[in-house]
Structures are given as C-alpha cells and as structure tokens.
Homo-oligomer: A and B are copies of this chain.
Amino acid sequence: MSLSLYDVTLPAFIRSFENLSAILKKGEAFADEKGLEHKTLLEARLIEDMGPLTAQIQRASDTAKFVAVRVAGIDNVPMADEEVTFADLHARIEKTVEILKAVEASAMDGKDEIEVVLKTGSGSKTFTARDYVLGFAIPNFYFHVTTAYAILRHKGVPIGKMDYLGSR
C-alpha cells in the first residue's frame, strides 16, 4: 500500500487540467488562423445529443471538484455552467484547479470506506469512497477530457497524444 486516495486523484487531475488548458489554446489559435468563429469549436459536438466542447470542460471540472467535496469534505463551490468563450473556459479551469490545490492530502486519509451517494437519473447509487474514486471519478474525469480533445481533433485542430498526456 503506497498510494492514498489523494495521490491517485487531485494531483493527476490538476496536471490534466494544465494539459487541457494548453489544448484549448491550440483550439483557439486554430480558429483564429482559419478565420473560424470561436463558437464553431466551443459549440461543436461529436453527435447532436452529446454535450458540446463547453460541457465537456464543465463536466471534467465537476467530476474533479466533487472528489474534493465528497471525499476530502470541502464545502461545495457551485459553478453555474455559463461558459461561452475560451476565456470563460480557462477561468473555469483555473477556479477548479485553485479549489483542488487548496485541498490538503491528509483530508482524504482514512476515507476509503466512507459512503458516497450519487444521484442518478433513476434514483441514487451508493459507493465506498474507494470504489467511487477508482470506478467512477477517475474514468469519468478522463472521459470528459478525452472527449474535449476528440471534439477539437475531429474539427481539425492540430493536437496529438502528447498534448493530452503532457510532456513532463
């Protein structure tokens, strides 16, 4: 046993948000270079009933923040999902990273078996914090970051796997 719930979540999420921020900058630069309206990318979706780029950033933000709320026990900081520009998305990411950075690693110690209840469309689902982190939060976080990447890649933005993984 060498890792804590904190180790496997918030530091990795912070790093991924830094990569995501750089990816969004490449998206914006691409739009400007091609003379595309920014909303061509910001409102882009892989299919009509899937969330657009803005929603993918919002859901990545919520997924990361709620690990801090549900496991570390910090007060929730509601965010209104009103982002419509690249600058708004960067502000959302910065605010989220600030929240994550303020969490002490020790705030998640000994929390593996606490109960985490998620509301679902059909009711609610109860996890231990450990199962919530490994089986829900981590895959869900990378789902939304990857989908943001996929939307931009699909639209022709010149990004590659190293942008997603980061080069450090």
Chain A residues packing against B (C-beta within 8 Å) = 1-5, 7-8, 11-12, 15-16, 46-47, 50, 110, 112, 130, 134-136, 138-140, 142-143, 145-147, 149-150, 153-154, 156, 161, 164-166, 168
Sampled A-B contacts (17; CB under 8 Å): A2-B130, A3-B5, A7-B134, A8-B8, A12-B134, A12-B135, A12-B139, A47-B156, A135-B168, A136-B165, A138-B138, A138-B142, A139-B142, A139-B164, A143-B146, A146-B146, A146-B150
Instruction: Report how many copies the assembly holds.
Output: 2
When the two chains form their complex, are residues A143 and B161 in contact, meaning their CB atoms are under 8 A apart? yes
Q: Is the CB of A143 within 8 A of B140?
A: no
Picked from B5, B135, B161, the residue with its CB within 8 Å of the CB of A2 is: B5
- Besides A1-B3, A15-B135, 11 other CB < 8 A contacts? A2-B5, A3-B7, A3-B8, A3-B130, A7-B134, A8-B8, A8-B134, A11-B134, A135-B165, A135-B168, A143-B161
A82 CB to nearest B CB, Å: 22
Contact with A46, one of B136, B142, B154 (Cβ below 8 angstroms): B154
**Residues of chain B lying within 8 A (CB to CB) of residue A165:** 135-136, 139-140
Q: In the complex the two chains form, is A47's CB within 8 Å of B154's CB?
A: yes
CA distance A12 to B135 in the complex (A): 7
A150 → chain B closest CB, angstroms: 5
> What are the residues of chain B within 8 A of A4 when measuring CB–CB?
1-3
